[in-house]
Structure 1
Amino acid sequence: MVNVTYDILWREAMMGLLDLLEAENPEDPSLAPSNEHVDDWAIIYIKYIQVFRKLEEAYDQVIHPQKRIDLRKALEATMGRILEIRAYLVTLNQGVDEVDLDRALLDLKLPPEALEIPVPKYFTEAHRKLLEDRKAFMLQMIARGQTAQATDESDGKNLVELPPPLPMSEAVQVIQVAERGRQGRLKGQIARDQRRMKALQDAMAERGVRLTKDAAAVPIQATIRGFIARRKVKRLRDEEMVFLGMKPRSVELEDDPSVVLSQVIMRRKNKQRMNWKEYEEALVVLKQRVREMEGQDMRETIQDKINAWFIENRDPETGDYPDFPDEDVGGSRVILNPPPVAPEEPEVDAKGAKDAKAKGKGKGKGDEDGEEEVKGVSTVFVGAIEEAVQEYVARWQDCDEAGNFAQKYDPELVKEELRPVVFEEVRAEVDTEMAVLLENLKDMVAAERAAKAGKKWKKPKKKKKKGKKDKKKGKKGKGPKDMSPDRGMESLFAEMVQNNLMQLVREVSVQDYVGAFNAIGSDIKAAGAQGDLSLAHVRQLVTEYCILPLGSQDVHARLPAPARAVLLYGPPNSGKKMLAHAIAQLSGSNFFNLSPRNTDGRFPAKQVTLMINTIFKVAKAMAPSVIFIDEIEKVFNSDKKAQREYGGTEPFSRIKKDFLKEFKFLQPGDRVLVVGCTSSPWTCAKKDKKVFVNLFDRHIYCPVPDYASRALLWPFLFVKHGGALEFNFDTSTLALLSEGYTSGDIDRIVRMVLSQRRRNTIGDKPIDMNEILQWMTKVPPVSAETVEQFRAWTRDLPSRQLPAEPTEDPKDAKKKKK
């Protein structure tokens, strides 16, 4: 694709942002989106996602370095706005995360794929060198044997449950029986071949006449011609199916469009890196040039304005000069750009203030109907979007780049960016010089005043100014205590890897959590039934609540309430751990495993406090980070009998106290996310349930796949593991028969079917339904009782509880009786 393609994509996105800003705040208030219903804001939310997809694609492929800077501002502002509107949609949906958007999609005539939020690739590409070095260091330590990385449960687990080992005598007997059977089958095959040859010889002997060459050639020619004709018909049928779009086109590897596209993308990425490197080198050269050519003029302008300020603010009676502004308040910035004068507020008498206060109290909790007022949507990122649109219009909308085919940096724009930087450096130097000059002028005035009074003037000693450190004295206990102040971050990092507390991230994506969108969610809710989350909805929630805030420092710091902890709960093998790894992989995060079975036996007794403190310290310093805790309900279970049944060398709840102590100090901008996983959340003791549930900002249910998701999952997993179902395979029947199986169960069945030997013969003998059903019988599905337990636990979550109706005041009740 040429460069103009992505320029057009960028222009469409910016025009879309402008339209959305006008839709949110129209000139006619009656056209504004309603703050009482989800539908209006759902349409705006979907349109923001469409704009975000365009910006992400453009930012990934644009090779002009200065365009990428402005594109990233728009991309992050749009990302933050999407998260703001998502939070508001949840508020309008009575606090429930699963907002049904099927009706909004229908109104916009869009497919369900329009709701897929892409994860920006710059989350990992911008720190590629750091991530590669970190991974190489961990692999080096693993290779040296300094740590034993825990294998994935799905990798270490046998596909089929193995029986206990046999005694030696029985094992030898089984081998002998198998070998005798093999020899018997081989002898039987030889005997059958001999009988067949003898029957053929007898038939030729009875006929008496040997076939001529022409007579023998006729059946051979008929067979060959039949084979050629059938192959031709099959080719014509395949071409027709490809033409109708019912079968994918099979092409050679070098002609595969996806391969060609990946090669083009790689070339653009290389150009992108080269242009960015040239831009960074130009910043140093052009900055020095701007300083040499314009620095002196800047210096004289600043000095003139400061000198004028000296004269204007000099006391006319005593002749004293004013104090120079401290750097804490901006130095000479307050002289060069004085703050605007605030308008005087009209005075309100005491009676009016009292009445206003009383009036406000009367309307504090609701209106006349007693309904609680819903807060409006947050607008933290609206200003950033407006600024991004203005910069695009000013710089790039009418920019003529006919002569910049290579998309190199624009020197004039670089100078424009560097002027404020150079001006600030010159201002800081002038501030130091003018502060000394002002001090000398003050001394001169004081000396003249003393001489007139006939006194000898002595220069006073300078008083030490109290800095910020003095102000902070006495404020102890505001943060966690550092238990390893004398150790460097590299040493702590190595210790975490050695103890298997920091692990390598699996190379998985949230797109590997395959599942379909629920297109009738609104109808199910309208019918009063409880439907589970669709797997596509789970992907969306994980992307919005976990990956996007973690990947962007600016978005995480500016969000009103980013999630600090997320709970993934669902049946075993439902993809919870894979999602946790996908969060860390796509956001470029470190992965700390604080699961009780992983920490069992490490840092025993009171050293657990040091372990937790070190994990949070390293996680904050090397942000973004994911702290993963599997079987987290066992950490919060205070039942001593249950703790003994877990089978650990120490109670699994030993990390609870120190974990909660460190967790409460997580702040927006730290970019540390706690991801808890559980397959039986109801086993937590009732007295501990409140603390356990309230720890998490979000609770995401990973359900059993529905019919539509299973229909997508089976073909995807067969291709993933080296096999493929035929295009006319009855996938719908297979999806129907596999009801109750989780994503992990289906993956396990596919791996059992596609053994190495079976993959080698799949071309000659395609996989059929009976072969899959044979292996399905060896894996038990999730029972209906277990699914109902998860649904009941979900209904009991605080976010699912409707607000209590306001109770009537006893005084009002008495008045009504009267």
Structure 2
Amino acid sequence: MSHQFYSELWLATREDVEKLLRTDQDGLQQEKKGGKSKDKISGQLVTMYIRYRELIRRLALCHDQVCQYQKRELITQVLNCAIGRMLEYKRQLVLYQNTESVYADDVLIPLKLTPDDIGWRKPSYFVTDRQSHLDARKKYINDLIRQKLASAAPQDSRRNSTVIPSRSESEGKMSRKASRLSPRVTEGEIEVNLNLPIRVESPEEAAARIAREELNSAILLIQSHDRARKARIVGAELKRTSDYKKKLANGELVEVKHDKRTKVKAVVTMQKWWRSYATRIHLKERTDRLEAVLGMSIPSWKPHQVFDRDAENFKRIQSMQPVYAAATLAATYAENARLHQIRGPGLMEDITDEVKEWFLLWYNELGFFDAYPSALAGGSILIATGQTRTPEEYHMEQMRKAEEAKKGKGKAAAAAKAKPKVKQRGDKMEEPNTLKGLREANDNFLANWSLRDETGNPHQREYLDLITDKLSYELQLEIREVVDELMRLELATLEAALAKDEAESDGGAKGQKDQKHNKGTNNKKKNKDKAKGTGKAGKKKEQGPTPTIEELFTELVNTGIIREYPDVKMSDWKGDVSYQNTEALREFREPRNCLGDVVQPIMEYCVLPVGSKEIHQVAPLVRSVSIVGLPRSGKSFLVNAICNEIGALLFDLSPKTVAQSYRTKKDLEMLVGSINKVARAYAPSLLFVDAGHQPWWKKVPPEEKQNNPKLLAGPLTKLVKGIRPGDQILFLTTTDQPQKAGKGFMKLHDKFILIPLPDYNTLYLIYKELLMRYHGVDRNFDCSSLASFSVGLPLEEIRNAVENVLTVERRISLKKRTLQPQEIIQYLISNRVQTGTKEYEKLLKWEKKTPLGKRHSKVEAEERAALGGKKMQKVQERQK
């Protein structure tokens, strides 16, 4: 696809952003008025949430495939704010519906969307913009681990190199007869040259030679066995024929002679049955070919040329993005130098003259100078925009204060003014920062991009006018800071000269004393601050040099706290979403999540907020998440997938890992300090605890007392409470026994994600994917019965069952003997694979004890009671 396609897609998406902004603003105004039912508000929230999800998917695609750097900056701003706004709607939905999963079955139909249209697409800049940094970090960690293993168990140098034995040595070891055509050379005839160096193989060459030898020996073994098999078949046939002839000759067997009619009838019967069988096979093959052409069957192998070509195009465009970015930065540096040289001096003179005029205005009107605006307030920008008070306003303010002092109503007036301000704050609803960011990005587009004709820029080069405008604004701010410092010094000089002139006159002595007094107090404060600073510096010197971030990083890698993780993605998580939970909630039935529903909270709480600093600053803060599920349910897979999706640095704080190097409270305090520094320096970071219930165990088992897991509770709580917006740090735990933990475990975590048992929809897809890989399996295989039987079984056991049933021998015989569902069912029964229904019910009971579960149960009970009362009223009315 070309640049033009993605540019048009961005323009269409931008129009949808503008429409969504209007709808969002109208929703805020209606929310101020109130008066809506809970169901109507919840429906509007779900609609806005779904529309933002669909918008984020398109924006992420545009950002991944647009090369123009300035346009990508604008899309990034829109994308970050859209993700933050979507997460805000998710938080409101959780408060209204009291569930972590959003069920939008009834909303997708009027919006004409499918679940695939709102599927999750992570922005690639979470990882691609720092891919080289991630690769270097991974290599550094692996090198440190390799060095640690090498120092712990040094290897013999002989293992790293293989000496090839000489010909005489190899011939001495090998005992085989000499050939007549090539007689063996005796030792006396061999001329030994001791000066020749011994050739030493490298480990790679030795491995290649061993692989070749093993391959050749395997081929020879297969050939010899195949020849023996054919010889046995021929020998058995010859022996059978010989035995038959001997029995006929000895009279043991009498050859039966059939009538010609009987033979013809038998031949006709065999031909009839064979032709009917061949016709059925032919018709089935023709039907299979037709279904394959129409795309109605699942092929065992799909050509990957189209997919590979699309993937190459995507990667090619993404590889071009750094080139465009470098070109834009180079143009920015050149333009910045030019503006500093051309516009800098004149701009400084203009700002200086403007401030000096403000000085003269105050001095001519009142005879003194006003306070210079602070840097935090804006400095000389307030003077240029006229936001500072004028001499007339100052004079009126002094007169008003004098009148109030005379009447003694200053406090009452201040209190009367404070009351309406409070009411105004209550009437006004603050606009979310995400909505402000979206509006600013939209205004930026309207101002700089709406009237721009891009047909003259087919190669998507940078626009110098945008660079110049941006740098001119930054140059003005930079020069204003310099001018503000100079003008503050000049103002101090003028005030000192004015104070000196007033001191010479009769009325200026008092002002001079006050000024001297203020100087003295300021000097005392400075001396105190200096004394405090020297004291702190002295304490730091006594403590010794603090370790650097790199040293702390190396220490954490060597102790096993920082480790690498396998390369898996969220797209590898197999599972279907639920389609009837909306109806279940209306009928007060307990909704049942599917495995595909797990992706939603994982993306919203663990991936999207932590992947970008801008999103983490504006999105609702989620410090800690716990993934709860049965053993072998995929908890570790989800943790590794989260790390890969955001390129996170993984800190393994499991009790077993920590207990190896940190056993005392002092050691744990040092560990917390090191993690705080390294996690923020290498953000995004993931603080992971496997078996997260152990630090809050109600009763520690005897076999776990050596790890002292309860000692970790305090440091982990301190780490979680220290997470702030913008840190890009997430505390993540996995557990299969949360009911054994105390209340501290529940209080520490903000969100709980429960992995459900494998459901029918997911199992049907899994069986289809596993079985349709084999060419001999019928394309209309009955996967429905298998999925119904396997509900609740671990997916790992199902994969093992399919692999063990479809062995090489069974695959060879698939053409003659088709696969039946009973074979896989029999394997599962014989291996006593059990469902975790009872254990999962315990997790469901525990989930109802969480804060969100308690609120959900309470609201459901109230709604049922209200609904029951209405039904009773209708029954009584009917009886009357």
- The TM-score normalised by the length of structure 2 is 0.72
1:500 aligned partner, one-letter code: G
1:382 aligned partner, one-letter code: L
2:136 aligned partner, one-letter code: D
Q: CA deviation at 1:467?
A: 8.8
Q: Does the CA contact (< 8 Å) of 2:760 and 2:788 recur in 1?
A: yes
Alignment correspondent of 1:733: 785
Q: CA deviation at 1:77?
A: 0.7
Q: CA deviation at 1:125?
A: 0.9
Alignment correspondent of 2:717: 660
Q: CA deviation at 1:121?
A: 0.8
Q: Deviations over 1:53-91 (max 9, x none)?
A: 111000000011110010100110111111011111111
Aligned partner (choices 412, 419, 424) of residue 472 of structure 2: 419
Alignment correspondent of 2:209: none
Q: Which runs of structure 2 are paired with 1:40-439 in the superposition (5 Å)?
A: 40-93=44-97, 95-146=98-149, 193-199=234-240, 237-247=287-297, 256-314=305-363, 316=365, 319-339=367-387, 379-439=432-492
Structure 1: which 5+ residue stretches go unaligned? Answer: 150-182, 208-224, 365-374, 808-818
Q: Which runs of structure 2 are paired with 1:447-486 in the superposition (5 Å)?
A: 486=546
Q: State yes or no: 1:701 paired with 2:754.
A: yes
Q: Does the CA contact (< 8 Å) of 1:380 and 1:558 recur in 2?
A: yes
2:577 aligned partner, one-letter code: F
Q: Does the CA contact (< 8 Å) of 2:299 and 2:772 recur in 1?
A: no
Q: What SS does structure 1 have at the residue aligned with 2:757?
A: coil
2:621 aligned partner, one-letter code: P
- Paired with 1:356 and 1:425, the residues of 2 have a C-alpha distance of 41
Which deviates more from structure 2 when the two are superposed, residues 493-502 or residues 321-330? Answer: 321-330
Q: Which runs of structure 2 are paired with 1:664-675 in the superposition (5 Å)?
A: 664-675=721-732
Q: State yes or no: 1:15 paired with 2:15.
A: yes
Q: Deviations over 1:163-218 (max 9, x none)?
A: xxxxxxxxxxxxxxxxxxxx9999999766423234468999999xxxxxxxxxxx
Q: CA deviation at 1:748?
A: 4.8
Q: CA deviation at 1:557?
A: 1.4
- Paired with 2:822 and 2:150, the residues of 1 have a C-alpha distance of 44
Q: State yes or no: 1:563 paired with 2:583.
A: no
* Alignment CA distance shift 1:310-1:579 (3 Å): same
Q: CA deviation at 1:267?
A: 2.1
- Paired with 1:528 and 1:449, the residues of 2 have a C-alpha distance of 84
Alignment correspondent of 1:25: 25
* Alignment CA distance shift 1:283-1:779 (3 Å): farther
- Paired with 2:650 and 2:598, the residues of 1 have a C-alpha distance of 21
Structure 2: which 5+ residue stretches go unaligned? Answer: 153-223, 249-254, 256-274, 398-408, 863-880
Alignment correspondent of 1:212: none
Q: Which runs of structure 2 are paired with 1:630-641 in the superposition (5 Å)?
A: 630-639=690-699
- Paired with 2:151 and 2:656, the residues of 1 have a C-alpha distance of 14
Q: Does the CA contact (< 8 Å) of 1:135 and 1:504 recur in 2?
A: yes
Q: What SS does structure 2 have at the residue aligned with 1:327?
A: coil
- Paired with 1:789 and 1:605, the residues of 2 have a C-alpha distance of 35
Alignment correspondent of 2:570: 510
Q: CA deviation at 1:295?
A: 2.1
- The TM-score normalised by the length of structure 1 is 0.78
Q: CA deviation at 1:525?
A: 2.6
- Paired with 2:803 and 2:301, the residues of 1 have a C-alpha distance of 27
Q: Deviations over 1:541-574 (max 9, x none)?
A: 1100111110111121123x41111111111111
Q: Deviations over 1:377-400 (max 9, x none)?
A: 973311111111222222223321
Q: What SS does structure 2 have at the residue aligned with 1:572?
A: coil
Q: Does the CA contact (< 8 Å) of 2:6 and 2:65 recur in 1?
A: yes
Aligned partner (choices 628, 639, 663) of residue 604 of structure 1: 663
* Alignment CA distance shift 1:764-1:668 (3 Å): farther
Alignment correspondent of 2:872: none
1:731 aligned partner, one-letter code: C
- Paired with 1:672 and 1:697, the residues of 2 have a C-alpha distance of 14
Q: What SS does structure 2 have at the residue aligned with 1:115?
A: coil
Alignment correspondent of 1:712: 765
* Alignment CA distance shift 1:793-1:236 (3 Å): same
- Paired with 1:547 and 1:468, the residues of 2 have a C-alpha distance of 50
Q: CA deviation at 1:14?
A: 1.4
1:518 aligned partner, one-letter code: S
* Alignment CA distance shift 1:428-1:755 (3 Å): farther
Q: Rg larger in 1 or in 2?
A: 2
- Paired with 1:760 and 1:426, the residues of 2 have a C-alpha distance of 81
- Paired with 2:389 and 2:812, the residues of 1 have a C-alpha distance of 81
- Name the Cα RMSD after superposition: 4.8
Alignment correspondent of 1:179: none
Q: CA deviation at 1:790?
A: 1.4
Q: State yes or no: 1:678 paired with 2:735.
A: yes
2:688 aligned partner, one-letter code: F
- Paired with 1:492 and 1:184, the residues of 2 have a C-alpha distance of 60
Which deviates more from structure 2 when the two are superposed, residues 665-674 or residues 435-444? Answer: 435-444
- Paired with 2:28 and 2:136, the residues of 1 have a C-alpha distance of 56
2:560 aligned partner, one-letter code: N
- Paired with 2:119 and 2:491, the residues of 1 have a C-alpha distance of 62
Q: Does the CA contact (< 8 Å) of 2:576 and 2:594 recur in 1?
A: yes
* Alignment CA distance shift 1:472-1:513 (3 Å): farther
Which deviates more from structure 2 when the two are superposed, residues 741-750 or residues 662-671? Answer: 741-750
Q: Does the CA contact (< 8 Å) of 2:698 and 2:740 recur in 1?
A: no
The percent identity for this pair of structures is 26
Q: CA deviation at 1:305?
A: 1.2
Aligned partner (choices 644, 652, 677) of residue 702 of structure 2: 644
Q: Deviations over 1:784-817 (max 9, x none)?
A: 221211111112222122387999xxxxxxxxxx
Q: Does the CA contact (< 8 Å) of 2:134 and 2:647 recur in 1?
A: yes
Q: What SS does structure 2 have at the residue aligned with 1:741?
A: coil
Alignment correspondent of 1:36: 38
- Paired with 2:570 and 2:347, the residues of 1 have a C-alpha distance of 52
Which deviates more from structure 2 when the two are superposed, residues 537-546 or residues 729-738? Answer: 729-738
* Alignment CA distance shift 1:467-1:351 (3 Å): closer
Q: CA deviation at 1:697?
A: 0.5
- Paired with 1:589 and 1:484, the residues of 2 have a C-alpha distance of 32
Q: Which has the higher helix share?
A: 2
- Paired with 1:761 and 1:587, the residues of 2 have a C-alpha distance of 46
- Paired with 1:79 and 1:733, the residues of 2 have a C-alpha distance of 41
Q: What SS does structure 2 have at the residue aligned with 1:126?
A: helix
Q: Does the CA contact (< 8 Å) of 2:300 and 2:775 recur in 1?
A: no
Q: CA deviation at 1:320?
A: 3.5
Q: Does the CA contact (< 8 Å) of 2:764 and 2:784 recur in 1?
A: yes
- Paired with 1:52 and 1:451, the residues of 2 have a C-alpha distance of 71
1:282 aligned partner, one-letter code: A
* Alignment CA distance shift 1:758-1:719 (3 Å): same
Alignment correspondent of 2:612: 552
Aligned partner (choices 783, 792, 804) of residue 845 of structure 2: 792
1:46 aligned partner, one-letter code: I
- Paired with 2:51 and 2:778, the residues of 1 have a C-alpha distance of 38
- Paired with 1:666 and 1:250, the residues of 2 have a C-alpha distance of 49
Q: CA deviation at 1:695?
A: 1.0
